[in-house]
Amino acid sequence: MKCVAIDDEPMALEVIKNFCNRCDDLELETFTNPLVGIEHVKRTRPTLLFLDVKMGEVSGVNLAKELPQGTFLVFTTAYAQFAVDGFDLNAVDFLHKPFSFSRFEKAVNKVRQAVKLINYSAAPPLEGEEITVKVEYKNVKIQLSAILYVQAMDNYVKIFTVDNRPVLTQMSMKSLEAMLPEAHFLRVHKSYIVPRHRISTYSRTQLTLTGGTTIPVGRAYADKLG
């Protein structure tokens, strides 16, 4: 993940650099000149910007208003009173100096989660794709784009759809999982499969779908979500 840190204090940048080096997926560039730094951010569009709030005569809060779309913001400052300004600008987090590696990692994980959610929503199932399941003695076609989630119920699988009429079919969860494209559907529990693009928020124990439905996340499946 490409990151930029802007701070007029070289020692503060060194702390962030050392913390980034402890994370395998972070690639960092640093700037002590805030005006040069923000121009670099606008040009290269990094995923994450660590931005000091007060840099001489330059306000990080004002610079943050120039961020390109798609760059997540984490403020870093010794002045806790600026936290409200930071969150008004939709900052992902606010690191109050001096901050620990664990606190730094917590902020980065928020960005990782936000990036995953964007990726999930970026590729919904294509319109027109469908699966066919047997319901009693009939074959029933279900549009992939209409599936809200899937729940295992003993020897049956219940497929919940956008028209509020669930489909109950006698088959194993494993068999249905094999029918669904892995790029668009994710098994998050021994009893649940969800469409990736419908995930709104998630943790290692549960997730929320767009619309508000809460689904448990099984311990064996939590790493799939991150």
Task: Report the CATH number that the domain containing residue 72 is assigned in CATH.
Answer: 3.40.50.2300
What pLDDT score was predicted for residue 224?
Answer: 80
Is 210 a residue whose pLDDT tops 60? yes
Question: Which of 78, 103, 122 lies at the terminal end of a domain, its last residue?
Answer: 122
Q: Are the C-beta atoms of residues 207 and 117 closer than 8 Å to each other?
A: no
Does the pTM exceed 0.75?
no
Residues 107 and 215 in one domain: no
Handedness of CA 202, 195, 69, 6 (dihedral sign): positive
Confidence band of 125 (pLDDT split at 50, 70, 90): low
What pLDDT score was predicted for residue 142?
Answer: 92
Is 180 a residue whose pLDDT tops 80? yes
Confidence band of 38 (pLDDT split at 50, 70, 90): very high
Is 91 a residue whose pLDDT tops 90? no
Residues 63 and 167 in one domain: no
Is 77 a residue whose pLDDT tops 60? yes
The boundaries of the domain holding residue 155 are 130-225
Confidence band of 222 (pLDDT split at 50, 70, 90): confident
Residues 152 and 54 in one domain: no
Residues 102 and 12 in one domain: yes
Give the chain's mean pLDDT.
Answer: 89
Q: Which residues contact 87 (CB under 8 A, 6 or more apart)?
A: 94
Question: Which of 73, 97, 122 lies at the terminal end of a domain, its last residue?
Answer: 122
Residues 102-126: what's their mean pLDDT?
83
Backbone torsion region of residue 99, taken as left when φ is above 0, otherwise alpha when ψ lies between -120 and 50, otherwise beta: beta
Question: Which of 122, 156, 187 lies at the terminal end of a domain, its last residue?
Answer: 122
Residues 75 and 148 in one domain: no
Is 87 a residue whose pLDDT tops 80? no
* 75/72 Cα distance (integer angstroms): 10
Which parts of the chain fold into alpha helices (H)? Answer: 10-21, 34-44, 60-64, 83-88, 101-122, 173-179, 222-225
Residues 145-156: what's their mean pLDDT?
93
